[in-house]
Amino acid sequence: MSTKIKICGITRVEDAVAAADAGADFIGVNFWQGTPRCVDAATARNIADAVRGRVKVVAVFVDEKREKIIEIAGRIHADYVQLHGAESAEFARSLAPLKIIKAFAVASEADVEQMDKFPADFYLIDAKGGAMPGGTGKRADWSLARHARRFGRIFLAGGLTPDNVADAIAAVEPYAVDTASGVESSPGIKDALRIRRFVENAKGAAQG
């Protein structure tokens, strides 16, 4: 099966279209105000509508209130909700029937073990450390990410670029790869050429 591709932190319609045109499978729109990739619901709806039916839309939240997650996910018709903070398993269950991607920042086997019994459709493995809960460009531990596959289908994130994504896929064999800063010209602004190279290199690795 080909590795799926997610381009996260989309802030502009043209970047979403570039991701869809390149062959990405998912885009992420971020609602955490602590990142330059944050968008409001109206902008996210325009982004989602521009590529509806071509890619899956993921709404990304960090320790947000349940009511706001449900309201925004419904407003933009998100296919998935990504929980990228310290949300509990009980909180994730309370969001049913929304489909969940739960992010885990891992630096040890103990971090990976936290995935056990957490209710999610997918698990996203990110690098641990730093002030931001993602989008830092710091590389995740690929050996830990590979171990994490025993708990379910994983998205590998953390420092992925067009230059290393093929190696990452070979090492981890994830369900999907996820990049934000790795395909940007500046924070929140994607580079269409880097997106295309990332997708081509990821798909080449999956096929090879």
The residues assigned a catalytic role are: 8, 126
Where helices occur in the chain by DSSP H, the ranges are 13-22, 41-50, 66-76, 89-94, 109-113, 142-148, 165-172, 192-207
**8 Å CB contact between 139 and 158:** yes
Cα dihedral angle (157, 163, 168, 170), rounded to 10 degrees?
A: 150
- Strand, helix or coil at 23? coil
The Cα 44–Cα 160 span in angstroms is 24
Where helices occur in 120-191 by DSSP H, the ranges are 142-148, 165-172
**8 Å CB contact between 204 and 166:** yes
CA angle in degrees (0–180, nearest 5) for 146-127-44: 105
Distance of alpha carbon 171 from its chain centroid, rounded? 19
Residue 139 DSSP label: P
The Cα 192–Cα 189 span in angstroms is 10
